[in-house]
Chains A and B, each alone.
Chain A
Amino acid sequence: MDLSLTPTQADIRAAARRYLDDRCPPSRPAEHAAELWPELVRTGWLDPDLGAVELVLLAEESGRALLPAPWWATTRAVPVYRAAGAELPGPVTSVDGTGSCVVRDGRLHGRCNAVVDARTCAEIVVAADTGDGVALFGVRPDAPGVTLTDRPGPDLLRTAADLVLTDVVGRLLLGPPAAAPVLAEVTRRSALLAAAEGVGVATRALEFAAEHARTRVQFGRPIGAFQAVGHALAECYADVEAARSLVYRAACAPDLPDAAHCATWSAARAAARCGETAIQVCGGMGVTWEFPLHRWYRRALWLEARVAAGPDPVDAIAAALLGPETVEGTP
C-alpha cells in the first residue's frame, strides 16, 4: 500500500500549481480566460490517457485556483470522444438527458436544465433515449432548434443554461449498446472530479483564512493566536484532509461501492464548511465583494447544490452498508 504521490504525480501537481498561480491569481480571476484553453490543451490537461489520480490532482488544483476555463465540463466527457474515436472539437460539456430527451426520426427533442458551460463550449454531449437504449450525440450550441436560457446560480465563474432541443440534428457519437457504459463513466468522472475540485476549493479558503489570521492584529496580537480562531481553522484542516483522503481512495479504488459517495459528500461538506469558517475568520474583510474569498465560497455552494440535486450520497452509503431502505413497519 502506498497512498502517496509518485514523483511523477507530485511533479504534475507542482507544475499545475505553478502554472495556475501565474495565470489565475486571486486578484485577477478571469483576466487570461480566453488564452487558457489552448495552453491547457498544449500542456496535456486534456490528455485522454491521464489516469484517475492524475485527473484528481489537476481537479484539486483547478479548484484551488478557480481555473476560469471549462476544463471540468470537458474532461468528464473525454471518454465519449475517446470511445467514439472522434477528435475533441474544443471545450465541450455533457448532460444526461435520459428520461427527458428522445430521438425521433434521427432528430433530438427534449430539455435539460442547468447545463454547465453550455454557452462557451463547442459541443454539448447529450445522452438521449433512442428506443433501443441510450445514445450519445454531439450538439452544437448554435445549431438550429437549440435554445439556451441562462440559469442564474451562485458561482459567477461557472455559468449554466437550460437547454431545449426541438427537432435538432446532432451527430451520433455513440449508439446503443456502447453508449450506456460510457455514460456511466462520464457520470463517475463528473462526481470524482467535482469532489477533487471541492478539496481544492476548501484548501484555498483555508489558506486565505490562515494567512489573514497570521497577519491581522487585534488586541495587540495576530488573531490566529486566539484559540477560538486557531481551533476553528484546525477543524477545517481536519475536514479537508479527510476529504482529500477519500478522494484519493475513490481514485485508487473506483469499484468500491461507497468510495465515490464518500468522496462526494465529504468534499462538498468540507468546501462549504471551510468557506464559511474562512469568511468568519476574515471578519469584515471576508464579507466584502472586493475580498476574493467569496468566489471560492460560491464554488462551494455550487458543489453543494450539485450534490443536493442528485441522489443523496449518504443514503447510497447506507444502502451499501445496511441494504436498501424499506418502508418503516414492513418486515
Chain B
Amino acid sequence: MRLDDSDEERAFRSELRAWLRTAVPAAPDGLPPQWTDGELRAWSAALHEAGYAGLTWPVEHGGRGLSPAYQAVFAEESALAEAPDQANVIGLNMVGPSIIAHGSEAQRAHHLPRILSGETTFCQGFSEPEAGSDLAALRTRATPVPGGYLLNGHKLWSSYAHLADHCLLLARTDPDAPRHRGLSCFLLDLRAPGVEVRPLRKLSGDDSFSEIVLRDVFTPADSVLGAPGDGWRVAMTTLAHERGTFGIALTARLAVQHARLRRTITAFGADRDPVVRREFAELHVELEGLRHTGYRALATLLRTGEPGPESTVVKLGWSRANQRLTALACRVAARADHPWYAHWTRERLRARTNTIEGGTSEVLLGVIAERVLGLPRSR
C-alpha cells in the first residue's frame, strides 16, 4: 500500500501538469472561468492533439493503451487545473469503450477516429419523463421499418446535447418483451430529420442540459450498437466504464472548491470564527475521506478489473459535501459582503443537482444496502 505515484505515473503527471499550465488560460479574478461552446470544442481538439484523448483505449483503436490509473491522473489533474469540461466526455469515456466492446467493424472504423479527434461529439439519451431512476421504464419506441427503425419519444437531462452531433440512445425495440429485454442501444445521428434538441434551463440558470424530442426519426439498422434487444446490457457496460475514475474527478473538483472556500474565509477574516473553522475542518475530513476512498476503489479496479464496493460511497458523499461546502461558503461570503457571493450562490444552486444526477442519493443508498451489505431488495 502506498500513496505516492509510481515512476511512470509521476512522469505522466508532471508532463500533464506542465501542459495544463500552458493550455488552460488563468482566470484573472480567481474565479473559475466560464467557457463558450467554441472554447469547449477547441478544448476537445487540443486534448487530442496533445495525446490526451483515449488514454485507456487500446492502441489498435487509436488510444494510448494505458491503464485506468492514468485516466485517473488525467481526471484529477484536469479538475485541479480547472480545465474546461470535456464536451465529448461521453464519447471518449463511455461510447468509445462501448463501441470497442460491442460495435461492428464498420462502427469502429467510422466512429472511433472521429470521437478521438473531437469531430464527433456524443451525448447520452437515456432518461425520459417517465424513466428517471427507473431507467427500464423508458418508452421511446424504435419501430422496425425497411432498412432500419423509426424513433419516437422524448429524452431528458442530456448534458451537452446542444454541442453534440450524435447520441447514444436507449429505445424500446420490442414492446412485448420483459421491460429489460426489449431495449436496444443506438448510435443516433442527431442531424437526422425529426430530431429536435431544446435547451433545459436548470434552477441555477444554467442551460447545459437539453431535452431531445424524436418524431419519426429514421435511423439505419447498422446504427444499433450490440445486438438488437441487448440494449440494457450495452447501456450498463457503458455506465460501468466510468466507474472507478469518475470519483477521482469529483473529489478533485471538491478539493478546488475547498481551496476557493479557504480563500473566501481568510479574505474577510472568517478564519477567526470558531464555528466556521470547525465546519471547514470537518469538510476537509469529508473530502480527504472521499478522495482516499476513491483511490482505494481505483486500486481495486487496477488489481481486479472491478472497482471495489467502497466506490459506491464516493458519489454519495461528494454530492452532500459539495452541498454543505457551498452552503458554508454562501454564509461566509454573504456576511462579509464578499465579491464572490454571486459565485457561491450559483455554486450552491448548482449543487442541488449533485444529489440527483447520475443516481439519486436514495438510489445509491439502496444500492449499498442491497449489493454491498446484502440486505433484501426493498421493491
Instruction: Report which A residues bind B (CB closer than 8 A).
Output: 1-6, 9, 53, 206, 210, 213-214, 221-222, 224-227, 229-231, 233-235, 237-238, 241-246, 248-249, 251-253, 258, 262, 265-266, 314-315, 317-318, 321-323, 325-330
B222 within 8 A of A: no
Given known contacts A230-B365, A262-B288, A242 and B372 CB-to-CB distance under 8 angstroms: no
B310 and A322 contacting across the interface, CB-CB below 8 Å: no
Chain B proximity of A198: nearest CB distance (Å): 13
B370 within 8 A of A: yes
Chain B residues within an 8 Å CB radius of A6: 1
A245 and B300 contacting across the interface, CB-CB below 8 Å: no
Given known contacts A210-B374, A246-B289, A251 and B1 CB-to-CB distance under 8 angstroms: yes
Q: How many A-B residue pairs have CB under 8 A?
A: 172
Chain A residues within an 8 Å CB radius of B308: 4
B1 and A252 contacting across the interface, CB-CB below 8 Å: yes
A322 and B266 contacting across the interface, CB-CB below 8 Å: yes
Given known contacts A242-B286, A242-B317, A314-B278, A214 and B1 CB-to-CB distance under 8 angstroms: no
The closest CB in chain A to the CB of B10 belongs to A1
Q: Interface residue count for B (Cβ, 8 Å)?
A: 55
B368 and A237 contacting across the interface, CB-CB below 8 Å: yes
Interface segment, one of B171-179, B232-240, B291-299: B291-299
Given known contacts A222-B376, A251-B1, A323 and B281 CB-to-CB distance under 8 angstroms: no
Chain A residues within an 8 Å CB radius of B293: 241-242, 244-245
Chain A residues within an 8 Å CB radius of B262: 321-322
Q: Can you name 21 A-B residue pairings with CB atoms under 8 Å?
A: A213-B375, A214-B375, A221-B376, A225-B377, A230-B373, A233-B373, A234-B369, A238-B317, A245-B288, A249-B3, A252-B1, A258-B284, A262-B289, A266-B289, A314-B281, A317-B284, A317-B285, A318-B278, A328-B272, A328-B273, A328-B274
B284 and A225 contacting across the interface, CB-CB below 8 Å: no
Instruction: Report which B residues bind A (CB closer than 8 A).
Output: 1-6, 9, 69, 262, 265-266, 271-274, 277-278, 280-282, 284-286, 288-293, 295-296, 298-300, 302-303, 308, 310, 313, 316-317, 362, 364-366, 368-370, 372-378
Chain B residues within an 8 Å CB radius of A314: 278, 281-282, 285
The closest CB in chain B to the CB of A1 belongs to B5
How far, in angstroms, from A230 to B313 measured CA to CA in the complex?
A: 14
How far, in angstroms, from A53 to B286 measured CA to CA in the complex?
A: 22
The one of B278, B362, B369 that contacts A224, using a Cβ cutoff of 8 Å: B369
Chain B proximity of A108: nearest CB distance (Å): 38
How far, in angstroms, from A325 to B270 measured CA to CA in the complex?
A: 11
Closest 7 CB pairs of A and B: A242-B289, A230-B369, A224-B375, A4-B299, A245-B292, A234-B368, A318-B277
Chain A proximity of B247: nearest CB distance (Å): 12
Chain B residues within an 8 Å CB radius of A325: 272, 274, 277
Q: Given contacts A265-B285, A322-B277, could you give 15 more A-B pairs where the C-beta distance is less than 8 Å?
A: A2-B302, A3-B3, A4-B303, A224-B373, A225-B376, A225-B378, A230-B369, A237-B372, A238-B316, A242-B286, A242-B290, A245-B296, A318-B280, A325-B274, A325-B277
Most buried by B among A245, A266, A314, A315: A245
The closest CB in chain B to the CB of A3 belongs to B295
Chain B residues within an 8 Å CB radius of A323: 271
B2 and A2 contacting across the interface, CB-CB below 8 Å: yes
How far, in angstroms, from A182 to B372 measured CA to CA in the complex?
A: 41
B280 and A3 contacting across the interface, CB-CB below 8 Å: no
B362 and A231 contacting across the interface, CB-CB below 8 Å: yes
Chain B residues within an 8 Å CB radius of A235: 365
Most buried by B among A221, A222, A321: A321
A3 and B1 contacting across the interface, CB-CB below 8 Å: yes
Most buried by A among B2, B278, B289, B377: B289
The one of A206, A238, A246 that contacts B313, using a Cβ cutoff of 8 Å: A238
How far, in angstroms, from A4 to B292 measured CA to CA in the complex?
A: 11
A4 and B296 contacting across the interface, CB-CB below 8 Å: yes
Chain B proximity of A271: nearest CB distance (Å): 14
Chain B residues within an 8 Å CB radius of A233: 369, 373, 375
Chain A residues within an 8 Å CB radius of B317: 238, 242
Chain A residues within an 8 Å CB radius of B368: 234, 237-238
Chain B residues within an 8 Å CB radius of A328: 272-274
Chain A residues within an 8 Å CB radius of B310: 241, 244-245
Most buried by B among A3, A213, A229, A314: A3
A5 and B284 contacting across the interface, CB-CB below 8 Å: no
The one of B280, B313, B372, B375 that contacts A225, using a Cβ cutoff of 8 Å: B375
Chain A proximity of B254: nearest CB distance (Å): 13
A234 and B365 contacting across the interface, CB-CB below 8 Å: yes
Given known contacts A1-B4, A210-B374, A227 and B288 CB-to-CB distance under 8 angstroms: no
Given known contacts A213-B375, A234-B368, A2 and B299 CB-to-CB distance under 8 angstroms: yes
Chain B proximity of A184: nearest CB distance (Å): 22
Chain A proximity of B73: nearest CB distance (Å): 9
